[in-house]
Amino acid sequence: MSITTPDQNACERLQAEDFHFTRNAWIAAAPSKVYDLVSDVSMISAWSPSASQVSYDEGAGPRAGSWFSGRNERGGKEWTSRSQVLRAQPGEEFAFVVDGLVQWTWTFQPLGAGTVVQQSWQLLGLDPVLGSTRTDLEALLAHMADSVETTLVSFARWVTEENRTR
């Protein structure tokens, strides 16, 4: 029987795939319209409490392989991230990876006069910048889930207000 310190045990048990969540919201617009808004990454700052100044690289756009950058904020810290689009299927799915560490996936399903938007977050790798203990990563997960819920509520409200002004 080997003896390990508590820190060694915690690190051995940390698995990136354990840190993920999905949230849903109904949006009062067709899937194609919702996809167009989400895949225009420059719009994210209109809804997200933690992302701003997001833009595709010059000549890039919402298509697989494209890159974009954005400013992020969490816990009083700010940084720039680099993201690559994995999937861009108009009206169906938009997915990207941030700094090789986190995958975001948005899916769009028609329901009545609108769309059920599903936003998923999946940790892909462990990196001390995200946290080095289970407690750190659980705090990150909780923060990101709260951020997504805020984003989805803001997004639904924004779309509703846009529809009213037209």
pLDDT value of position 129: 83
Which tens digit of pLDDT belongs to each residue from 61-103?
A: 999 999 999 998 877 888 899 999 999 999 999 999 999 999 9
- Residue 160 CA from chain centroid, whole number: 22
Q: How many CB atoms lie within 10 A of CB 150?
A: 14
Which tens digit of pLDDT belongs to each residue from 19-66?
A: 999 999 999 999 999 999 999 999 998 998 888 899 999 999 999 999
Q: Is the pLDDT of residue 7 over 70?
A: no
Q: How many CB atoms lie within 10 A of CB 69?
A: 14
HSE (CB half, 13 Å, CA atoms) of 35? 18
Q: Is the pLDDT of residue 118 over 90?
A: yes
- What is the C-alpha to C-alpha distance for residues 104 and 85, in angstroms, rounded to an integer? 10
Confidence of residue 12 (pLDDT cuts 50, 70, 90): low
CA angle 117–163–36, rounded 5-degree value: 45
Confidence of residue 166 (pLDDT cuts 50, 70, 90): low
